[in-house]
Amino acid sequence: MDRPLTRTVAALRGVAPADALLAAGTVVAVLAGTARLGGRLDAAGALPLALWLGLLLLGRRRWPLAVLLLSVQAVIVFRTSGLTDLGWIWPVSAAYACLAADDRPGRPGLPWAAGVGLAELAFAAGWEVTALGTGPREALASLGAETLWLALLLAAATAHRDRLRWRAERDARLLREARERDLETGRRIAEARLEIARELHDVVGHTLTVVGLQLRVAAESLDDSPAEARAALATAQEVRTAAVRDLRSLVHVLRAPGERPSAAPEEPAAGLPELAALVDRMRTPGLDIRLETTGDPAAVPAPASLAVHRVVQEALTNTARHSGASRAEVTVRIGGGRVEVTVADDGRPSGERPAGPTPGHGLRGMAERVHALGGELTAGRTGNGTADAKGGAAGTGSGTGDGTGTGSGWLVRAVVPVPGFPS
């Protein structure tokens, strides 16, 4: 097979089915229109014109303007040479519509289609009046219908183009919204995981600390005071039961949407009203904890109540673990549109604490809880100022910054605003 034939076959294989159908439809429409309007169906006139116009449409996607110009030129050549006697605009309808509907950037198809159409009509009017001697009335009647057909054709093509643009913009908007929803979902999942991590840290850390303290008390008082040992073991059992309940609630949150637990989980009892029970669990013979509350704890909204409870829980857990303190004071002031809580102990100076107070999730978790509600949290030595915990820092601040001051004890202070809360 020679090269020209090979290239032709390859080109035909690359033609889209829609273009082939449009080309075939144009050939049939030109021949049928000529017959219907009483024109000549010559083998040397209408047939080659129809085939040529159909063949040109195979390249409409890549060269729409060139296809229209060559199609109009073919019509003019066939009409002026007398090979056909009907039609100026309608035989080229498909080429006009394809160019007018072209919506690619930098290719304004509609103005070109309108300009070429007007130029062809002007040439047709001059040809019929001067060359054919057609009277103005007959020329107006003939070309008026062609002009109306051109206007209708361009209007339909423009409507189709605008519809394609609208669909493209709608699809782009839907895709953008879907991506934004995915990002928002990912953000919420990350926040939920962070919240669950905080809860797990608080529940597990607090439980292990309290159980350890009570077991130590039980071991020390087993021989001398069995009743005190039994009370310590009972407290440890209560703390363990509460921790299991809280962990079950967290597992319930992690369940897949379609899963259902065998029994409805109990909600964890954590808030300002439960601070007294928390202090009682943490109090041991070696660590005296006092609680002072002003205001109505039950009136504080649940988010702020839970955050303050967790701050006190984590602060007391750090005191029991790291400070060697013998006394701690918890003060809660409710009113003035906010809740203020301070936890102070008389433990060893911060320079003697292990990386005081345990850099990691403890202080960071407290700060993140408070900052999420628009509040502030500070932590540091009671003697030489405080270290700011803003931004969820790792908890390495130590008052003056050197961590070796002589002040004793540690102070954690949190202020949580409560909008609309009575002063």
Q: What is the mean pLDDT of residues 113-141?
A: 83
Strands (E), 223-326: 288-294
Alpha-carbon span 188 to 182, nearest angstrom: 10
Nearest to 228 by CA among 284, 292, 168: 284
pLDDT at position 388 over 50: no
402: amino acid identity, one letter:
D
280: amino acid identity, one letter:
D
Which is more confidently placed, 10 or 211? 211
- Average pLDDT of the chain, as a whole number: 76
pLDDT at position 125 over 70: yes
Each residue of 323-363: pLDDT tens digit? Answer: 778 889 999 999 888 999 999 998 765 444 444 334 445 67
Using a cut of 0.85, tell me whether the model's pTM lies above it: no
Check residue 199 and give its pLDDT. Answer: 66
Q: What is the mean pLDDT of residues 206-215?
A: 70
3-state secondary structure of 420: coil
**Residues above pLDDT 70, as percent of the chain:** 72
Alpha-carbon span 370 to 198, nearest angstrom: 12
241: amino acid identity, one letter:
T
Nearest to 150 by CA among 215, 84, 59, 68: 68
Q: What is the mean pLDDT of residues 226-239?
A: 72
CB neighbour list of residue 171: distance below 8 Å, 6 or more residues apart? none
- The 8-class DSSP code of residue 130 comes to I
| Of 47-61, 255-269, 361-375, minimum mean pLDDT range | 255-269
**Residues above pLDDT 90, as percent of the chain:** 8
CB neighbour list of residue 108: distance below 8 Å, 6 or more residues apart? none
